Amino acid sequence: LCCSMLFKNMMLQFCVPLIDKTPHTPVHTLTQHKMSAASMLNALKEIATILRAKGTPNEALWASSGLTPPSRLKDVEHAIVALRKTFSVEAKLKIAEEEFAAAELAGVTVEEFREREKKARLRGTAKTGPIERRRREGRDLKLTVHKLAQGDFDLKTDYV
């Protein structure tokens, strides 16, 4: 449990600075507003469509988005990008935690666990190789038969 918290803190140190690269964006953090990120994203998208149509969004929409009311379209789009990055960082953090837990359960390091997973995926793709080759050969044969039926004969000769 202690190692997983350490790993989570390490991931947050490296991932969170990627989110806050646009300090000029007037977006409040999700901890300041007690609302879901999905509803915030929907409100931002709706504001962006209204601003593209040269309209003025109402105050309730501005409040639900977390932006200050006289924001530009560019600022709204930056907020949408920043919010989407938080979604991807949260997803990556969740995947990393799951990997760490699975590796800890297996009694190996995370790197060894990733290597095992990679080998397992490669074994699955090794089975599909001959199938893909047979499909490709079948497509080529069908195309050749179709061309012969149309009258495009293969006039190429093989010299011995």
- Chain segment 30-42, per-residue pLDDT in tens: 444 445 778 888 8
Within a domain: 54 = yes
Report pLDDT digits (tens) over 5-22: 555 555 555 554 444 444
Q: Is residue 152 part of a domain?
A: no
Give a yes or no: residue 139 inside a domain.
Answer: no
Domain count, the chain: 1
Residue 34's domain comprises: 2-107
**Does residue 125 belong to any structural domain of this protein?**
no
Question: pTM of the entire structure?
Answer: 0.43
Q: Is residue 132 part of a domain?
A: no
Is a pLDDT exceeding 90 seen at residue 23? Answer: no
Q: Does residue 141 belong to any structural domain of this protein?
A: no
CA distances 56 to 23, 50, 52, 60, 77, Å, are: 25, 7, 10, 12, 16
